[in-house]
Amino acid sequence: MLKEKDLYLPEYFGEILNAISDGILISDSRGVALWVNQSCLNLINRSREEIIGKSSSDLEEMGIFNPSVTSMVLKEKTMVSTVQSTENKRQFMVSGHPIKSEEGEIELIITHSRDITGTVRTTSKLEEMQALLKKYSQEIMEMKRRSKKEESNEFFVGKSKASLSMINLMDKAALVDTTVLITGETGVGKSEIAGKIHQLSERSQKPLVEINCGALPDSLIESELFGYKKGAFTGADKGGKKGLIAQADGGTLFLDEIGELPIHLQAKLLQFLQQKKYTPIGDTKSYIADVRIVAATNRNLQLLVSEGAFRSDLYYRLNVLPIKVPSLRERQEDIFHLLQLNLNKFNQRYDRQCKLSSEAFRILQSYHWPGNIRELENLLERVVITAPTSEITSKQLSTHFHEPQELPLNILEAEKGQSLTETLEKIERKIIEQAYEKYDTTRKTALELGISQSLLMRRLKKYQLTKK
């Protein structure tokens, strides 16, 4: 009677793989074919001698596999899936899986191919064929999520309801090819969400191009986005310039701080979203680019629309699939795990063995974190670097927080005949007025006060506060 260990004997191992109807090819760390099952040979109509000992590049040049998934795995260092064509005009859905050593080096590459030629040929409509390929791609991506051990990323740590809801929506966004609008406070990880959506999407093999709309002068954003033709303006490159939209063709364009996009460029972006067409500066010809738009902002776009600073038609076109990234105040259950992860990360980076005392943990968990994950990460890095001992105490933490300022006595003294509500409103008005003068913009003021920008705007209106 066969036992479990017998299944690993070469004779049984080969018989098992040869019984599979799908093609299996095993290559070494250089991409040289070591073993192939009979199904694969039947599918490509080749002999074993023509495959074994050949490198992936050789097999690709011979037209046996096009493109070579083995070569793609060696380049990407991770699992790769694609539709492959062979010299005999057959089509396969192929996945390449790297087998790595304990040190993380690739030792073997297993490619698994499924013949979809008959299905494609008998499909009467292009839409049905595309749906079939999309279905296979989604199955492969789901398998990839389950089988691939993702690297730790602090922005996706935690099991709070708010985090799980956001991650679930992010996964759904990756499966569809529509515009996504990511909102949330500064420092919550909006760019990381955009990167993860691209990584898990069907566009992952194409570029992810990013532009911060608030970091460039108005005069440069248009040329960066749309590019320009030779001699379009004084100081332009002699050969012209390829814009970011053209660079992202086939992939994803991430527009960070979309709320800062100048109003005169919003119409051009809207035209591109609707027609996939754009016109470089100084050119009379329009070009088409297959680009998915993912935008992000920490501003209230609806409020900007009401103020006339943002086009309503562009807002509704961007807001097809909104994802709100929760602040740390909304996912306090995750703070403990975030602290542990970042503490381990910086201990390893700076060769320390720091640990937080129970009181220090309590303080950090109860802190309101106006800068969110970015502030948490920066604080722990600073504490690990400067801690005089391996134990980080609450006393050491106190030097890294801003001490709360006491309100002047004349503010706290209620005028005769004033109710408690009137006194509190007086205090609130004074705090907002001082903060607005200090931090200059409503976004920075709201962040420092720990309130939403929309709430701040309502309070400014209520107390009739304006910049002096």
CATH classification of the domain holding 447: 1.10.10
Instruction: Based on the fold, state whether residues 113 and 27 are members of the same structural domain.
Output: yes
Contact in structure between 432 and 449 (CB atoms under 8 Å): yes
Instruction: Based on the fold, state whether residues 170 and 315 are members of the same structural domain.
Output: yes
The residue ranges of the chain whose pLDDT is under 70 are 1-12, 87-88, 118-158, 231-239, 399-421, 467-468
Q: What pLDDT was estimated at residue 151?
A: 44
Residues contacting residue 112 through CB under 8 Å, at least 6 positions apart: 22, 23, 24, 94, 95, 97
Domain presence at residue 143: no
Per-residue pLDDT tens digits for 386-414: 888 888 888 878 766 644 444 444 544 55
Q: Is the pTM of this model over 0.75?
A: no
What is the extent of the structural domain holding 378?
328-398
Compute the distance between CA of residue 329 and CA of residue 338 in angstroms, rounded to an integer: 13
Instruction: Based on the fold, state whether residues 311 and 202 are members of the same structural domain.
Output: yes
Compute the distance between CA of residue 28 and CA of residue 73 in angstroms, rounded to an integer: 12
Instruction: Based on the fold, state whether residues 345 and 433 are members of the same structural domain.
Output: no
The closest alpha carbon to 451, from 385, 368, 389, 355, belongs to: 368
Q: What pLDDT was estimated at residue 403?
A: 41
Instruction: Based on the fold, state whether residues 415 and 394 are members of the same structural domain.
Output: no
Count of structural domains, the chain: 4
Domain presence at residue 132: no
Q: What pLDDT was estimated at residue 154?
A: 47
Instruction: Based on the fold, state whether residues 379 and 434 are members of the same structural domain.
Output: no
Instruction: Based on the fold, state whether residues 237 and 94 are members of the same structural domain.
Output: no
Q: What pLDDT was estimated at residue 230?
A: 73
